[in-house]
Amino acid sequence: MTRALRLAATLRSRLTPVARSNIPLGRTPPAAAMKYILVTGGVISGIGKGVIASSVGTILKSCGLQVTSIKIDPYINIDAGTFSPYEHGEVYVLDDGGEVDLDLGNYERFLDITLHRDNNITTGKIYQHVINKERKGDYLGKTVQVVPHITDAIQEWVQKVALVPVNDSNQTPEICIIELGGTIGDIEGMPFVEAFRQFQFRVKRENFCCVHVSLVPQPKSTGEHKTKPTQASVRELRGLGLSPDLIVCRSENEITKAVKDKISNFCHVEPRQVLCMHDVPSIYHVPIFMEEQGIVELFAERLHLQVPTPRPRRLMYKWRDLALKAERLIREVTIALVGKYIKLQDAYSSVIKALQHAALACNHKLKIMYIDAEELEPAMKAEHPVKFHAAWQNLCVADGVIVPGGFGSRGAEGKIAAIEWARKTKKPFLGVCLGLQCAVIEFSRNVLGWKDADSAEINPETSHPVIIEMPEHHVGQMGGTMRLGKRETIFNTQDSVLRKLYQNVDTIEERHRHRYEVNPAYVPELEKAGLKFVGKDSTGKRMEVIEFPDHPYFVGVQFHPEYISRPLKPSPPYMGLILASCGRLNGFLHRGCRLSPRQLSDIGTSSEDEAPEAVPALAEPASSTLHARVL
């Protein structure tokens, strides 16, 4: 009897839930294995795998877990640096200078983490890595093949990168979310699918699960959802050796229970393993909807995660508030985006997101007027007068103007014309990268009278090259040769609007991506004419920030502040543009970079707030951030 009782006690101790141990809530034991969540796509590409993967990470992070992410792009390019914006959208730049897919921007914004260039895996990187090892003799004369050498390299890369800390706490991640680009069945993705087929056994089943995102179309002719494409996609995935633990069904409209049960039945998963994600007004709804469908419980059970009970709710409440706020805003602010690649909005993905973050923080609904810079040029008036006048009409009705980054001469004169109009009519203006350079050219031509002033990129023969190529640029090679990544900018004056928006700090760090810079030889004359260079790099020779004092908001930055804008931490230059466009910038600065209670409640007029109280420019220590105060 005593032996039986001892045996029963032993069994009870082994079956005791992990959550009852003395391990801190939301933390796995020191020896716990890394958990991997692979996100694949079926039927078509571009159905939101990146947002789904980011939302999964957000939900798990809200449970107190440390999350990192990896994006796999099965193209042979080494990185995204030389991509056309029309093909892949914007090139997103990381702190370490990595030029990567824009989906990594989603991960950073959703999870508020800092990724590295190795978090983006491409076929080109893997093959380059394997070929370099072969050249060094690491394979000892063996025949180098896709299996096992390429597949092993993929697995080793994933395991190595998954352990790299991605936040300020420097804690090792506990969960790695991996998005496999493209769709299942693509020939270029086969080595990666095979690698993960092997990987699930390498790391053990309890440490690996697969989320399959598939389209459930609803033809207008029938009006009913069709499950056959999803069934075929799951069948193909299983044929390649991976079984989905979770199927996320993407659709235009909400899917009925009958359709969900049908997918469950024919795809051999439980109904609770089928999540429905229809189109929503804003991406802030996605984590909320996924959590409501029990995704935390599914992952906790499948991966043996330590999820505290009751779960922390603070982060998810913030996302819920953002989603509700985005829907209920009434007042509108219109920003004219004057660019070169406006036919594809993904080309300016981070700029658009940064504008949205700032507008949301200011309690305004954002309306963007996309204006093709070429249509503002005088030549367009003769060729296509309707387009010319329509473009100028859109520019004139906007509350503010932004000229984002870009390359090449096409549309440059249109951007310069838009900047001249914004300067003369005192419309709030923000120039980013090329936008700053165009502002310097415009000022040189129309204020200093240097009519042929130009950039060496656009007109190498100009007698006034106010924009020149940086000496460190390697002529003849395009990929990875720009000034990239996080760099320090030092403010050289207290009298700067942008410095106040950055909480009056002496230095800031922002990400860069450019080959050309302001010619320092012309800076004294430009400053004498009224254009102020209020921020420079650590050498004091490279111009980083310009301001025109006699203007509500005329700011140009050589860096790309949109890359580190977050939904809960909007970028200061973008905040300045939105506030100035709403007529609220002066009051905001007088209150120490705070919105008034009336503005926070989203009532009242949208003009400049009532006379600001006598509050010092910065009432709180500089260690406090703009972002926390706004929200």
Residues labelled catalytic? 433, 560, 562
Instruction: Give Cβ neighbours of residue 382 (< 8 Å, ≥ 6 apart).
Output: none
Residue keyed to tokens 């089943």? 205
SS3 215: strand
Instruction: Give Cβ neighbours of residue 429 (< 8 Å, ≥ 6 apart).
Output: 400, 401, 402, 403, 419, 422, 423, 439, 551, 553, 554, 555, 577
Query: Which DSSP string do the residues of 238-287 spell out, in sequence order?
Result: HHTT---SEEEEEESSPPPHHHHHHHHHHTTS-GGGEEEEE--SSTTHHH
At 605, list the tokens: 């007029």
Please answer whether residues 83 and 77 qualify as being in contact, where contact means their C-beta atoms are separated by less than 8 angstroms.
yes
* CA dist., res. 201 & res. 175, Å (int): 17
Number of H helices, E strands in the chain: 23, 21
At 421, list the tokens: 């109009």
Listed residue (565, 484, 311) closest to 576, CA to CA: 565
At 70, list the tokens: 């990896």
8-state DSSP, 290: H
Q: How many CB atoms lie within 10 A of CB 371?
A: 26
Size (the chain), residues: 631
The secondary element (H helix, E strand) that includes residue 431 is strand 429-432
Listed residue (370, 332, 37, 339) closest to 179, CA to CA: 37
What are the beta bridge partners of residue 469? Answer: 516
Residue 476 main-chain phi, psi, to 5 deg:
100, -15
What are the beta bridge partners of residue 332? Answer: 365
Please answer whether residues 19 and 309 qualify as being in contact, where contact means their C-beta atoms are separated by less than 8 angstroms.
yes
Listed residue (573, 429, 418) closest to 501, CA to CA: 573
397, burial (CB in 10 Å: exposed 0-12, middle 13-18, buried 19+): exposed
Residue 320 main-chain phi, psi, to 5 deg:
-60, -45
Residue 423 main-chain phi, psi, to 5 deg:
-70, -45
Residue keyed to tokens 């193209």? 75
What are the beta bridge partners of residue 68? Answer: 176
The secondary element (H helix, E strand) that includes residue 400 is strand 400-403
At 73, list the tokens: 């792009």
Please answer whether residues 296 and 311 qualify as being in contact, where contact means their C-beta atoms are separated by less than 8 angstroms.
yes
The secondary element (H helix, E strand) that includes residue 210 is strand 208-215
CA 291, distance to chain mean position in Å, is 22
SS3 72: strand
Listed residue (572, 277, 255, 555) closest to 428, CA to CA: 555
Residue 23 main-chain phi, psi, to 5 deg:
-70, 135
